[in-house]
Structure 1
């Protein structure tokens, strides 16, 4: 039985990205750490305050020059390791190289339709083809697969279950496009959906049993706000209260402060500790 503490963190190691997703809210997060010694100090600090899982995010984390080293060192330190990627830089070679130290890969898949991905700024018209090509390598190397889907005005009527069954993830997370002040409020106006539209996508896609035996996880805007512990590229804390990212030049002073940053009930409701039983 686990105490009610947040044990998972998203480290946005870079805000660089090769895609231009209209709904992206991880921009202008600060200068990234490119010195391995300084990056390891961040990992050691996170370990000292009780973090057990690190999700390397971006931008596109595969663009960070130290990503392979960070995943390896984090695993050697005992962390559960995860990467959230658009998949562009993942291939047979890079997946195999990551596999000894990587527990999870989260891939961004928002539609069954290439044209929709292209319209959203995700890829060059061959995003789904590439995802289909790399997913077998993820399964072959024993890395757990998660699919992340953002619901927008372009896909809220879409039945994605056939594609999800084909990709065969352990976890499917479905998120309502989230507006964040200072990040995406201009671009997202043409893509943001209402709760009613989001619910339409939920009803169409909820009746699927994943390979883990679980159902999809659906997160509204309200579910996301205050439910994630996040740090920026240089290790500064990112708060997302009131749908506005605040990057603070500070460290987290122990588990008690984490619990003041993150709403435990929301964190638990969205399955923040689901990885413990996997």
Structure 2
């Protein structure tokens, strides 16, 4: 059993290495033969998305409920799955350590901009973990400086951020969201939003001050679950004064935090609709609160995984499209399961450029 596991791991590692090298070579080749860009990755032997294209999975793509193409106004790019925290309800777990080469990631971002993207949100995993945040910083700078996107944002747990990152890249970032589920250290430890004995709340306040100093809009994300559902966070949120406080109901995703093959088992974190509503009722005085129930959240996000594949959550799991690097944005987004009406209903489009927020720094 041990030998078989080692062989399987080695085979996966070799496949990822081959896929990465292939994409790099094709990126170089496409600059010489621009009219063939994007074709090579569609060959039967493999693709930049890390999957082998066979008659079987081609039929699976064809059988999907294909939607009309939509404009990717706001996109969430989870370029890494690796994380230094172990949140028990995490719904984008470290199933692979793969990260696209920088130039390939930039190529995909340019494709998205050309297709109408206005806002990009970088997430993970923990996005500051890869190359100590320098990879992330280069993407942020590229999106704001080269692509001229109206809004560039990040979601982070805050533990890996250093002041020198703000000094180098802060001017290119519109919004930084820090995930914080409780203002009690013990509760964060129970949830898994911690690393050793380091204070998650200490990092939160430190990053909030840096955002103020380097003129980055500060946001807080909280997942409401069985461990924090009875907590009153009003005083702390008021003191931190984020531009938005996103409050999510704990969501189960098969293969991520539920099911036999999942790295997390989040059933013990799940709360009812009534419990979630009671939490919201307790915080009605917080004007920046933006609630998102399971119904609002599940299909109203355009999510790109580490291979730049749109993830369809309509069946309660994350079914990937083909990579936009292989087939382009218009084709891939048809398999995203994106509910644009719900996106607008939940307030997905708002004043998201710090230049338009008129904040007092």
Worse-matched range after superposition: 138-147 or 118-127: 118-127
- TM-score by structure 2 length? 0.71
Of the three residues 141, 148, 151, the one matched with 1:78 is 148
CA distance in 2, matches of 1:201, 1:8: 28
Indicate the SS of the match to 1:10.
strand
Q: What corresponds to 2:189 in structure 1?
A: 118
194-203 vs 184-193, which deviates more? 184-193
Q: Could you tell me which residue of structure 2 aligns to residue 200 of structure 1? A: 278
Judged with a 3 Å threshold, the aligned counterparts in structure 2 of structure 1 residues 102 and 42 are, in CA distance, closer, same or farther, namely: same
Alignment partner for residue 69 of structure 1, among 138, 141, 154?
Answer: 138
State the SS of the aligned residue for 2:112. helix
1:97 aligns with 2:173: no
> Match for 2:180 among 109, 116, 120?
109
Matching residue of 1:239: 312
Cα deviation, 1:207-256, whole Å, max 9, x if unaligned, reads 113xxxxx311001111111000101121111111321112333354399
After TM superposition, the runs of 4+ consecutive aligned structure 1 residues lying more than 4 A away are: 28-31, 255-260
Change (3 A) 1:130 1:187: same
Q: Give the distance between the partners of 1:28 and 1:87, measured in 2 at CA.
A: 18
For 2:235, what is the secondary structure of its paired residue? helix
The answer to whether the Cα contact below 8 Å between 1:177 and 1:191 also exists between their aligned partners in 2 is: yes
Mapped to 1, the partners of 2:181 and 2:125 lie a distance apart of: 17
Instruction: Report what 1:263 is aligned to.
Output: 339
1:213-228 aligned within 5 A: 215-228=288-301
Aligned-pair Cα RMSD in Å = 2.0
More deviation in 103-112 or 267-276?
267-276
Q: CA 1:117–1:158 in structure 2 vs 1: closer, same or farther (change >3 Å)?
A: same
User: 1:5·1:259 contact (CA, 8 Å) conserved in 2?
Assistant: no
Of 258-267 and 141-150, more deviation after overlay is shown by 258-267
| Higher normalized helix content (fraction of residues) | 2
State the number of aligned residues: 270
Give the Cα separation in 2 of the matches to 1:182 and 1:146.
Answer: 29
- The structure number with the bigger radius of gyration is 2
Structure 1 residues 119 and 194: alpha-carbon distance in aligned structure 2, compared to 1, 3 A threshold = same
Structure 1: how far apart are the matches of 2:245 and 2:331? Answer: 28
Instruction: Structure 2: give runs of 5+ residues left out of the alignment.
Output: 1-69, 259-263
**Contact kept? 1:84, 1:108, Cα under 8 Å:** yes
Distance 1:67 1:260, change over 3 A: closer
Residue pair 2:323, 2:332 contacting (<8 A) in 1 also: no
Could you tell me how far 1:264 is from its partner in structure 2?
A: 1.4
Structure 1 residue 140: deviation in Å? Answer: 1.2
Q: Distance in 1 between matches of 2:223 and 2:165?
A: 25
